[in-house]
Amino acid sequence: MKTTGMKLQGYQSIADVKEDPVVRIPTGIEDIDWIYGVTQGWHEDVFHSVWGLPEGKLSVWVAPGGTGKSRALIELAKSVSSVMPPGSKGERRYSVLYFQGEAPLGEFKSWATKGGIEMDPNFFMVSDANTLTSQLRAIRDMNNSGMGPNLVIVDSINMLQEFGNGTKAAMTEIIMGAEGREGYKGVAREVGCHVIFVSQTNKNGDASGSNSLPHLVDQTFYVEKERGSSLFTITTGKSRYSKSDTVCQWQHLDDCAKCVSANRVDDEVWVNGRKKYRETMGYPDPCVSSPSPQNNYEANLLVAQEIQRKQRRQELYGSEEVPQLVEPLYYDYGDDIYDCDPGTFGGGEDDSPLAECERTLNSASNWACLGLAALARSWSK
């Protein structure tokens, strides 16, 4: 019996269900985008991959105190506030609302402005609100003003008055709402922002309070410090919108924390998605052997991968030497040729040729041309 198009009581044919792909918010930090996942699909005969934070969803970073999670989140917030959405033409950035309860706002400002990634302060909002009602009101007020937010950070969930002893009922109230009051899940979905909660760990290494928190959110990440090192890792745990067990590595510096990994380059989904995009756009194949400025992005990706492998081998044998590029890297993007300055490749976001090339590829003008976020939104309509 044919059921397609029929209105059935309590159920329907899956053929009648409207597909709703996840809209992504690119952060400007490629390994963070990678661990948060990808939305892929076809639009006007071109294959696109959009990596980043899933819009309207919740995630939690779980870690003991002093690990580096807050420093990493400050850099993430600064980076997001500097990324231009497609079609903004320089007039708009993604906006951030950072609820800070670990220190006075004046002290927090000194952390955020001490060094690291440059930010646009007009799109980086802070608040010391510490109740669920006041935080959700601030999100709505910011949204009603036309400012977003696109990313909300709650540092930490333990600071909320409703958290109390971290019971299951308290976690459910904060995330889902209770007794006619709304929670974070409904507001995030309505506003279209991604929310990151910071959760301190208990003595067993689990999220503080009820162990129900990781099950109430959409993605869980564990932050761990490497013993005897300035490095710390962010590892994907349970996740509905990305692969599990993906890892990005960060390093504590004197004035900030910095992402120093490029693990995405070993992911076939990441590499093949870009390759398929180039093929469907009709771009030429990489000219790996030629040193001319016509070398395109993928040729440089191969070079950067080899540098990454050399760096890993050196780390394995305890060498502190870091390979350097002597000549600039180039790639061909449409009618324009971009020059990626040579520099030390430490896997970081500021000085790696790979990251520099990827940032140029994902720059505001190119993203506006590609319309990736607009594409994702068109899928969701």
Residue-wise pLDDT for 68-116, tens only, equals: 999 999 999 999 999 888 666 667 789 999 999 888 999 999 999 988 8
pLDDT digits (tens, 9 = 90+) for 146-181: 988 999 999 999 999 999 988 999 999 999 998 888
Dist. CA 365–CA 154, nearest whole Å: 31
pLDDT at 128 over 60: yes
Cis previous bond, 156, omega within 30: yes
Dist. CA 169–CA 109, nearest whole Å: 34
List C-alpha distances in Å: 60 to 12, 208, 279, 361.
34, 12, 37, 29
CA 344 vs. chain centroid, Å, equals: 24
Q: Are 105 and 128 in contact (CB under 8 A)?
A: yes
User: Model's pTM, two decimal places?
Assistant: 0.74
Neighbour count for residue 289 (Cβ, 10 Å): 8
Dist. CA 155–CA 79, nearest whole Å: 17
pLDDT digits (tens, 9 = 90+) for 226-278: 988 999 999 999 999 999 999 999 999 999 999 999 999 889 998 888 888 77
Supply the pLDDT for residue 141.
97
Comparison of pLDDT for 348 and 205, the residue scoring more: 205
Name, in order, each residue with C-beta under 8 angstroms of 240's C-beta and a sequence gap of 6 or more. Answer: 57, 218, 219
**Average predicted confidence (pLDDT) for the chain:** 77
pLDDT at 326 over 50: no
Supply the pLDDT for residue 93.
86
pLDDT at 47 over 50: yes
Task: Please report where in the chains the tokens 């005897």 appear, as a residue.
Answer: 228
Burial category of 205 from C-beta neighbours within 10 Å (exposed 0-12, middle 13-18, buried 19 and up): exposed
Supply the pLDDT for residue 16.
86
**Structure tokens of 327?**
């000549």
Supply the pLDDT for residue 381.
39
Name, in order, each residue with C-beta under 8 angstroms of 144's C-beta and a sequence gap of 6 or more. Answer: none
Dist. CA 280–CA 47, nearest whole Å: 6
Dist. CA 258–CA 75, nearest whole Å: 7
Burial category of 227 from C-beta neighbours within 10 Å (exposed 0-12, middle 13-18, buried 19 and up): exposed
**Helices 297-316 + 268-281 axis angle, to 10:** 160
Supply the pLDDT for residue 119.
86
pLDDT at 200 over 90: no
Supply the pLDDT for residue 49.
82
Name, in order, each residue with C-beta under 8 angstroms of 345's C-beta and a sequence gap of 6 or more. Answer: 304, 307, 308, 311, 322, 323, 324, 325, 351, 352, 353, 354
Q: Are 80 and 94 in contact (CB under 8 A)?
A: yes
Supply the pLDDT for residue 45.
77
Supply the pLDDT for residue 115.
86
pLDDT at 183 over 50: yes
Comparison of pLDDT for 238 and 5, the residue scoring more: 238
Determine the residue type at 312: R
Supply the pLDDT for residue 224.
94
| Residue 333 pLDDT level (bands cut at 50, 70, 90) | very low
Supply the pLDDT for residue 179.
84
**Structure tokens of 75?**
């850099």
Q: Which of 57, 120, 113, 137 is nearest to 85 (CA)?
A: 120
Tell me the mean pLDDT in the region 320-336.
37
Tell me the mean pLDDT in the region 221-226.
94
Dist. CA 315–CA 309, nearest whole Å: 10
Comparison of pLDDT for 43 and 64, the residue scoring more: 64
Lowest pLDDT segment from 78-87, 179-188, 194-203, 289-298: 289-298
Strand-pair category, 247-252 with 231-239:
antiparallel
Comparison of pLDDT for 305 and 193, the residue scoring more: 193
Comparison of pLDDT for 119 and 184, the residue scoring more: 184
Domains identified in the chain and CATH numbers? 24-261 (3.40.50.300), 283-364 (no CATH)
pLDDT at 42 over 70: yes
Q: Are 221 and 60 in contact (CB under 8 A)?
A: yes
